[in-house]
Amino acid sequence: MSRRSKNIRKINYLLHISIAVIPAATLLPGCKNTQPPPAQTVSVNQPVTQAVPALTAFNASQTYQYIKRQVAFGPRVPGTKAHDSCLRFIVNTLKGDSLKVTVEKSTAKTYDGKKFEFENVIASTEPDNPARILICGHWDSRPFADQDTIDPDKPFDAADDGGSSAAVMMELAPILKKYPAAVGVDLVFFDLEDYGQQTDDNYPHMEDSWCLGSQYWAKNLPQGYNPRFGILLDMVGGKDAAFPMEGTSLYYAPDIVKKVWDIAADLGYGAYFTHDKTGETIDDHLYINKIANIPTIDIVDYHVETGDYPYWHHKHSDNMSIIDSNTLRMVGRVLVKTIYSEKTDKAL
C-alpha cells in the first residue's frame, strides 16, 4: 500500500484541499455516462444456479499460494529480477486461465529522479460484452521499508501490500472463465504504485508521486471503455482485517460503497466490512475517479480506532506470517457475489 497516511496531518490536508484539487465536473459519481439509456430496456438477472457455485468456487488456499509464490521471487521492486519474474508468473497464470491478457508497458520518472519501465497487466473476460466492471490492485512492492525502525532502507516481502491484491485477482480469473457472468470483467494489475514520496513536505507533489501505473492507465483507456464501476483492492489478506468505508470512495462513489458493503453484510461479514469511515486517501482509485471518471471504490484494511494498519507502509513484518486465508476468502466471496449480482441490460 502506498498513499494512505496514518498521519492525521495528511488526512486533514486532503480533506481541506479536496474541493480545490478535484474538478467540480468529476464530483458526482455516475456523471460520466451522459447519454440517455436505450428505449424499452429491461434487466435480466443471472440464473441463481450460476451464482452459487461461483461463490463457493473461490479457493482461499490457492490464493494464499499465489501470495507465497510472489513473495518467493523476492521484493517486486520495478527494475529488479524479482519484478520481471513475478510479471511472467502473473501473465502466464492468467493466460493459462484463458483470459485475454494485455501487458501495457511504459516508462515513468519517480519522485527521486529515477526512470523505470513499468508494466500494467490487463486480463479480461467476455471482451466483447459492453457491460463491464473493473477489479484492480497493484502488484509491485516498495523499494524500502521506510516505516520500520530496522533496516528502513531495505525492501520488504510485501505479502499483503501488493501480494494479496494480485493473488485475489488471479484466483478470480478461473472462476470467471468457468462461470461466465452477465458482465465482462477487467482485472487490472497496476505497476509502479508504491514508489512515492513519503515526506510531509510539498503535499501536492507527494500526492501525485504515487500510483504512477494507474495514472498512466487512466490517461490511456481504450476508446469507448466505460465500465459501470470499479473496485480497488489494497491489503486484503492480513490477520484481524477491518475494511471501513474509505473517504475517497465515499466522495466519488457512495452508491458503490453501499452496494458492496450490503453484499458483505448479506454474506455475514458485516463485522469486518464496517460502517466506520476514514478520511480521504491517496490510492489508485483516486486517479481512476479523477482522470478516467470511472466511479471506483477501495477495499483497504485500515484500523479506524488507531488510525493505522499494523503492517502498513512498508515494514518488514509484512510477510507471509500475517496472511490469513479467512480474510482472503471473505474478500474473494464479496467480490464474486458483487460480480454475479450484476445484471445484463438487453434492449427489446
CA gap 113, 90 in Å, rounded: 28
DSSP state of 274: E
CA distances from 247 to 13, 297, 333 (A): 13, 9, 23
Q: What is the pLDDT of residue 157?
A: 93
- Over residues 159-207, the pLDDT tens digits come to 999 999 999 999 999 999 999 999 999 999 999 999 988 765 544 456 6
113-138 confidence digits (pLDDT tens): 999 999 999 999 999 999 999 999 99
Grid coordinates belonging to 26: 468529476
Name the phi and psi angles at 252, rounded to 5: -95, -35
With a CB cutoff of 8 Å and minimum separation 6, the contacts of 198 are 146, 147, 206, 313
Whose CA is closest to 334, among 276, 285, 272? Answer: 272
Query: What pLDDT score does 311 carry?
Result: 55
**Regions of the chain with pLDDT less than 50:** 1-51, 202-204, 346-348
pLDDT in tens, 155-169: 899 999 999 999 999
| 197's grid cell | 514520496
Q: How far is CA 322 from CA 154, 161, 239, 278, 326, in A?
A: 19, 11, 6, 23, 12
| Assigned CATH topology for domain 44-347 | Aminopeptidase (3.40.630)
* Residue 10 confidence (pLDDT): 34
Alpha helices in the chain (DSSP H): 8-21, 48-56, 60-73, 81-96, 163-178, 203-208, 212-219, 247-252, 254-266, 284-290, 325-341
pTM: 0.84
First to last CA, the chain: 45
Q: Is the dihedral of CA 49, 296, 165, 85 positive or negative?
A: positive
From the list 102, 229, 123, 104, the residue with the least C-alpha distance to 168 is 123
- The C-alpha R_g of the chain, in whole angstroms, comes to 19
